[in-house]
């Protein structure tokens, strides 16, 4: 599978779920340390996402990577856990409501899929489950691009 095929799938996912933004972050090893970067996106407003580099445990992707659990926030501007500045992808893409789910392979996180809205949106359980199901299927595509 080619990288453009993954981007095309993200475009379909964005339209299917009514999201403003969909992205997948993956890890690269740099200087012996794992860095997380947003590699595939759809619905982006600019190219600044390419400059975002996160450590495990930092930012939306880093938190989901560390915990291997979904992260949901219906209003990041009023998030009681961390200020909006802690989430660079939300800042650069003006995301207010987000759903982020891990992409797993053999009990290890290999990516994080993020769906976001630019307006405060109530996120219902079926949307979370749907995005997690899509992320589970996306695992094969991510592994295929690494070969």
Strand ranges in the chain using DSSP code E only, listed in sequence order: 21-30, 33-42, 53-54, 71-73, 97-105, 108-117
What is residue 11's DSSP assignment?
H
* Minimum mean pLDDT range among 67-71, 81-85, 112-116, 141-145: 81-85
CA–CA distance, 36 with 141 (Å, rounded to integer): 18
Question: What CATH number is associated with residue 88?
Answer: 3.30.450.40
CA–CA distance, 23 with 55 (Å, rounded to integer): 17
Q: Given a cut of 70, is residue 1 above it in pLDDT?
A: no
Q: How does residue 18 score in pLDDT terms, banded at 50, 70 and 90?
A: very high
Mean pLDDT across the stretch 10-27? 94
Give pLDDT, residue 9: 92
Please count the structural domains in the chain.
1
Which of 108, 33, 92 has the alpha carbon at shortest distance from 60?
A: 92
Under 8 Å between Cβ of 44 and 93: yes
Strands 71-73 and 53-54: unpaired
Helix (H, G, I), strand (E, B) or coil at 43: coil
pLDDT tens figures, 94-125: 999 999 999 999 888 999 999 999 999 999 99
The domain containing residue 99 runs over which residues? 3-146
- Helix (H) or strand (E) segment spanning residue 120: none
Give pLDDT, residue 43: 96
Which of 113, 118, 115 has the alpha carbon at shortest distance from 139?
A: 113
Query: pTM for this structure?
Result: 0.91
Which of 129, 136, 144, 116 has the alpha carbon at shortest distance from 41?
A: 116
CA–CA distance, 96 with 85 (Å, rounded to integer): 12
């Amino acid at each position: 599978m080619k990288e453009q095929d993954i981007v095309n799938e993200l475009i379909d996912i964005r339209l299917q779920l009514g999201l403003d933004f969909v992205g997948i972050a993956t890890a690269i090893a740099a200087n012996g340390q794992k860095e997380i970067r947003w590699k595939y996106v759809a619905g982006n407003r600019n190219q600044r996402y390419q400059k975002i580099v996160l450590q495990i445990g930092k930012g939306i992707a880093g938190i989901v990577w560390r915990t291997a659990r979904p992260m949901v926030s219906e209003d990041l501007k009023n998030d009681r856990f961390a200020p909006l500045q802690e989430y660079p992808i939300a800042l650069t893409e003006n995301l207010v409501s987000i759903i982020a789910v891990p992409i797993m392979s053999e009990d290890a996180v290999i990516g994080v899929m993020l769906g976001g809205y630019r307006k405060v949106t109530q996120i219902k359980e079926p949307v979370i489950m749907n995005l997690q199901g899509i992320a589970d299927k996306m695992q094969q595509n991510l592994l295929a691009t690494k070969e």
